[in-house]
Chains A and B, each alone.
Chain A
Amino acid sequence: MTNIALAATVTTGEAVTFWILAPLALLGAIGMVAARNAVHSALWLVLTMLSLGVFYVVQAGPFIGMVQIIVYTGAIMMLFLFVLMLVGRDASDSLIETLRGQRVAAVLVGLGFAGLVGTLVARAVSGTEAVGLDAANRDGNVQGIAALLFTNYVFAFEATSALLITAAVGAMVLAHIHKPKSEKLGQPETMRLRFRPGNYPAPKPGPGVYATSDSVATPARLPDGTLSQRSIPEILPTRELSSRETAPKGTEK
């Protein structure tokens, strides 16, 4: 538990890790906003989340760091990717501004917000010494978290899990299409519909196969000599053969 005991002071290793990963985390955040492809955005976000996970580990929270990587990077971002891949790989955001000056305003407001939060955190924690870390981690980091979760915060913990389960069940209820059995047609009903007056029960006539053409666009000829439009698919335009196509090909001798 040496790393936990030393966590109150910044060691060289911690500083080196921070200065390597902090720019990467920032790069990931900026890349996530700037990337035009949705999957690239997700990947930049993965980079940021991974860096955050390592930060947690370095700051004497190994359990929360690993959980960050397993849950957020491994499961949630994977589900995001799943959805993005289903949407289509070439779905990119359009860069046309619908509101004039929207992007500049967004950048300015974003910078302002970041400055505000940064100043707030800096003023709040500067000069504050972290205390009680050794006491909290006395029985080990995981055991400490477990003891807190299942004693002081058990109600909040259970409420959160109930909320999540409700959300999951709700999503499933919304997405699930239940067709009652009474709506399914049995064989007698299907047959009655098929033979009802006005419905032609036999298969539709196939398209014509003639010496001049065997295309699916050629309508079939009914017994009385008329052409049946029901024999050709509706999306095909009816097409008369040109004289060049009907002319003898010169192959018969």
Chain B
Amino acid sequence: MTSAVLLAQDPTLSDFGHDPWWIVLIKIVFAFVFAVLATLLGVWFERRVVGFMQVRPGPNQVGPFGLLQTLADGLKMAFKEDILPKTADKVVYFFAPTISVICAVTALSVIPFGPMVSIFGHHTPLQVTDISVAVLLILAVSSMGIYGIVLGGWASGSTYPLLGGLRSSAQMISYEVAMGLSIVAVFMTAGTMSTSGIVAAQAGSDSSASLGGFEFFAPGWYAILLLPSFIIYFVSAVGETNRAPFDLPEAESELVAGFMTEYSSLKFALFMLAEYVNMVTVSAVATTLFLGGWRAPWPISIWSGANEGWFGLIWFFAKVILLVFVFVWLRGTLPRLRYDQFMRLGWRVLLPLNLVWILALAGIRVLQKENSDAVRWSIIGGALVVILLITLLWPDRKKKPQPTLQEQVNARPQGSFPLPPMDLVVPPSPRARRGVAQRQPANVGGGAPDVIEATSTEEKED
């Protein structure tokens, strides 16, 4: 490789939009095939991993390791009867699954799969396209993807799908807020909204940052640097993709299959495709925004060739598969939440946490840029005062001590059922006292010394 190529590893926004049409076509087909293959292998992967966690083999008959099981299932699904319910709204019922799939696949178009590579002599980034607001595009298509689920539930014309659709619309609106706010921290740190720019901003893994005059080591990955954002993003991504433990729109124990109860055959397959593509997409977005994108993880990145050319694909796919594994792991581990618990988590935990974290991060950013000591110390002092006030004024959640029995009795209203005096001590019965006095000591040491003799004396006395 020439030095010019080495310098141009990180694609910038100006590298996009110069490809000939056939390279664009190749990239689009690649992204689409990636989505479909990810679904085929993802279903197999999920079933095998969940099988492993539940100590059973999982699909292992069709093809090597059961790899072709999903293909066989897909073929079977295609030949099933396509049912159109009598009360369904036919046009909307038909379009709902396609909306889901199109939106899920579109999000892949701004995911950077790798650095600048050479395709048939053309020097081009391994990414379909990038725009200055690429992350917002991902948010936009994911919010449009909800329409597929909601409309599918509504158009089915029966109760369970409608309830599933209602649940999913409320759920996705709630969790999109948390998701969008967690991305704000990334925007603030990276200073850009383009996906390739965010990957480039995470490159400096050995750089040091300065805070309040102190120099310290700052890792490049935003998953470490912005850990609260990463956690909140991942939790809300699980909610956004309707995966367990947040799969309330299709909760089989309550809603049969939720929004896809009435769907069958290829339309059902499309919903399933959309779900798995969504899972892969949010994993890819998490990789891009928080895990350094296609860049090699730390020990490997010491080797300078690790981030060159097609190697990027390996690291990218490894990270995505790791995140998909976490999705499957969650499904194999956690039971489904109740709906009100789920909503409380979104609005009362994730959202306030996120806001406080963004405020703190903004303070840190201002500290980094501020040069005058007076402003710097006033910011730190203000933050300390706020923390002190919060800890002082935080409502006490300690429970009041339980009133004594006599207090409870005194507090009873007039005319209550009469009770015996609370300090009444019942004298022990003489018969019980005699029994205690004559009881044999427990024979702990072993051997059976004189059991028969003891019982015989007791009988004699009675």
Contact of B136 among A63, A73, A78 (CB under 8 A): A63
CB closest chain-A residue, reference B192:
A140
Smallest Cβ distance from B413 to chain A, in angstroms? 5
| Option from A39, A53, A70, A140 in Cβ contact (under 8 Å) with B132 | A140
Q: How far is the CB of B191 from chain A (nearest CB, A)?
A: 9
Q: Is the CB of A85 within 8 A of B166?
A: yes
Nearest residue, chain A, Cβ from B416: A188
Q: Is the CB of A43 within 8 A of B173?
A: no
By size class, the interface of chain A is: 20 to 34
Task: Produce 1/0 per residue, B395-414, CB < 8 A to A.
Answer: 00000000000000000110
Mask of B136-169 contacts with A, CB within 8 angstroms, 1/0: 1101100110110011001001000010011001
Instruction: Give min CB distance, B137 to chain A, whole Å.
Output: 6
Q: Are A39 and B173 in contact (CB under 8 A)?
A: no
Most buried by A among B146, B147, B165, B412: B147
Cβ–Cβ < 8 Å partners of B13 in chain A: 1
Neighbouring B residues of A75 by C-beta, 8 Å: 143, 173, 176
User: Chain A's nearest CB lies how many Å from the CB of B183?
Assistant: 11
Whether A74 contacts B176 by the Cβ 8 Å rule is yes
Does B133 lie within 8 Å of A74, measured CB to CB? Answer: no
Q: Is B154 a contact partner of A62 (Cβ separation < 8 A)? A: no
**Do A70 and B143 touch across chains, with their CB atoms under 8 A apart?**
yes
Which chain A residues numbered 47 to 77 have a C-beta less than 8 Å away from chain B?
Answer: 50, 53, 62-63, 66-67, 69-70, 73-75
CB of B381 closer than 8 Å to a CB of A: no
CA distance A8 to B413 in the complex (A): 83
Asked if B143 and A82 sit within 8 Å, CB to CB, the answer is no
Determine whether the beta carbon of B173 is less than 8 Å from that of A142: no
A62's closest neighbor in chain B, by CB? B133
Whether A73 lies near B133 (C-beta < 8 A) is no
A142 in contact with B166 (CB, 8 Å): no
The residue in chain A whose Cβ has the minimal distance to the Cβ of B146 is A78
**How big is chain B's contact interface, by range?**
20 to 34
By the criterion CB–CB under 8 Å, are A89 and B132 in contact?
Answer: no
| B251 on the A face (CB < 8 A) | no
Q: How far is the CA of A89 from the CA of B136 in the complex (A)?
A: 32
Q: Does chain A have a CB within 8 A of B170?
A: yes
Is there contact, CB below 8 Å, between B132 and A141? yes
Q: Is the CB of B165 within 8 A of A85?
A: yes
| Smallest CB separation, B351 vs chain A (Å) | 14
Contact with B144, one of A43, A69, A85, A142 (Cβ below 8 angstroms)? A69
Residue on B nearest A53 in the bound complex, by CB? B140
B416–A46 contact, CB under 8 A? no
A151 within 8 A of B: no
Contacts of B157 in A (CB 8 A): 89
- Beta-carbon contact of B140 and A74 below 8 Å: yes
The one of A2, A62, A63, A86 that contacts B166, using a Cβ cutoff of 8 Å: A86
The verdict on A79 contacting chain B, using a C-beta distance below 8 Å, is yes
Question: Within B23-49, which residues are at the interface with A (CB < 8 Å)?
Answer: none
Q: Is A81 an interface residue (CB 8 A)?
A: yes
| Per-residue A-contact encoding for B160-196, CB less than 8 Å = 1, 0 else | 0010011001101100100010000000000001000
Report which A residues bind B (CB closer than 8 A): 1-2, 37, 39-40, 43, 46, 50, 53, 62-63, 66-67, 69-70, 73-75, 78-79, 81-82, 85-86, 89, 140-142, 188
Q: A39-B154, A78-B169, A86-B166 are in contact. List 4 more A-B contacts (CB 8 A).
A: A62-B132, A66-B136, A74-B176, A85-B166
7 shortest A-B CB distances, which residue pairs? Answer: A74-B143, A66-B136, A69-B140, A62-B133, A70-B140, A66-B133, A82-B169
